[in-house]
Structure 1
Amino acid sequence: MKKFLVNDTFIDEKEVQLSIYDRGYQFGDGVYEVIRFYDGKYFKLKEHLIRYIESAEKIDIDTEFDLEQLEMLFNELLEQNSIENGYVYTQLTRGNAPRSHIYNKEELKPQLIAYVEAATRPISLMQSGATAILHEDERWTKCDIKSLNLLGSVLAKTKAHKEGAFEAILHRGDIVTEGSVSNVFVYKNNKLYTSPADNFILNGITRLTILDIAKELGVDVEETSITVDFLLSSDEVFTSATVSEITPIIEIKDKGLIGSGKPGEVTKLIQAKYDEKIKQL
């Protein structure tokens, strides 16, 4: 039976009880993280937890635990479970209170939960590539916060699924932001492009890892606004995310193929270097 982490206590899955008065349930009032692990070892645990704490601070939630304490708890969570490959989902809400838009920090105790899920690497998808749709970005303007308010992403991702696509690439007017659950990279004219890490995207941990990899490979990178037309005329496009890793986008539905319609060579180089980093854990 899986063990869940609830605040600082490990509890059997069947014994976990959460209140309907939790502000995460009532208002989506909280933040979350998804952290990958391979062969029982975390990938970029510290980076994820730093962002976790920063997201909480941005919405005025005081975390009970510091970075060192969180690392200890999350490592213990893996030890408490027998899953070798997968991810940890964790969320921190403002806590339980009678329903009111106004909150009083002095009367609230933030609630942290975390649990593990088994997951294999998406090797086939990364090798073959995937399709995407374009979708207007209807989310709020604080996308740099990894908040529980994911309705816009849910609707976009579901629309893509219904149309037989892997991902929805979001845009505000003519400017591409990111995917519904991923960051977006474009390769064109011997340069790699990605949207700047402002309030319109989440600065993904995988995104940051790819930027480091590009430097190692000597690939020029520019963090700048990308137009829809620029993306459609590019040589390569790929998305990045913790669970789906680096996924080549080979076609935009109803718009045509990206480049040759196959995963590009630069994408493959970055995938190979990412794979090396996983094997070095």
Structure 2
Amino acid sequence: MPLPKGPYMGTFNPMKNSEKAPNDYKLAISKLKVTLKQRGMTYRELGQAIGLSESGVKKIFLADDGSFLRLSQIAKFLGLSLTELVSDQRTTNVGFSDKQQNEFLNSPILFKLFWLLVYERSDLSFAKKELSLSTTEAFKLVRKLDLLGLVKLLPGERIIVPSIKAVSWKGSGKFVEKLYREWTSQMMSQIAKPESEEGELFIFRYVQMSSKTYAEFISAQRALEAEFLRRSIREMQLMPSDLKHVRWLVASDNKSFVTGKALDQQ
């Protein structure tokens, strides 16, 4: 899931990585405001319904951050779920610049730290342990990521990272090509076996299809992937206690395993 370029939307403190990102709060408030407007409901009426004063409701809606428990209460009254409030399902096209790719090629551990912080939402202490980094080494790398515009390092050892959202990789480059080769090969070497272990799925198949059926097959695979990507983004935003690492690789073409050619080329 590549990194979105643009404003630093999500935040976490390396010492406390369980707080909701302020952008999620603002997103929820924005959707609640739209819902209230659509239903012609005032802050006073909402307050009366949930046991708050009009000024108390205004304070919630004007804040930059606040309690998601209170937002959940408001959402429940309006017939919404917290998931609906914090989910931004627009897919963003993203990619790394040439400079960013060159830095990752020169320093593989820089990319690993970036991945742990941004994609796996790990705190810095965990990343340091996994990568065997000293505190000094870790912050030199974080500073490098900051200079590359990939994260933002603030006083007090706080790091701002992009918000969790659905993204689509666009573009190429030596680092991207290297990453695709290495990580897909690594994954296949670990799970490509006749008997899958618990928590694994590996399907290896050859068939022949008409052009129409093959096009429908590809379309169905894209739709299935998009649906579970949306669901995973929602869950990562809400951070339930049973989140698991999941990696998947979807690949298909219309060629022979033996000749590497399509039927009309043989």
Q: Same fold (TM over 0.5)?
A: no
Q: What TM-score, normalized to structure 1?
A: 0.23
Higher Rg: 2
The structure with the greater share of residues assigned to helix is 2
Q: Higher relative contact order at CA 8 Å, sep ≥6: structure 1 or structure 2?
A: 2
Q: What TM-score, normalized to structure 2?
A: 0.24
The structure with the greater share of residues assigned to strand is 1
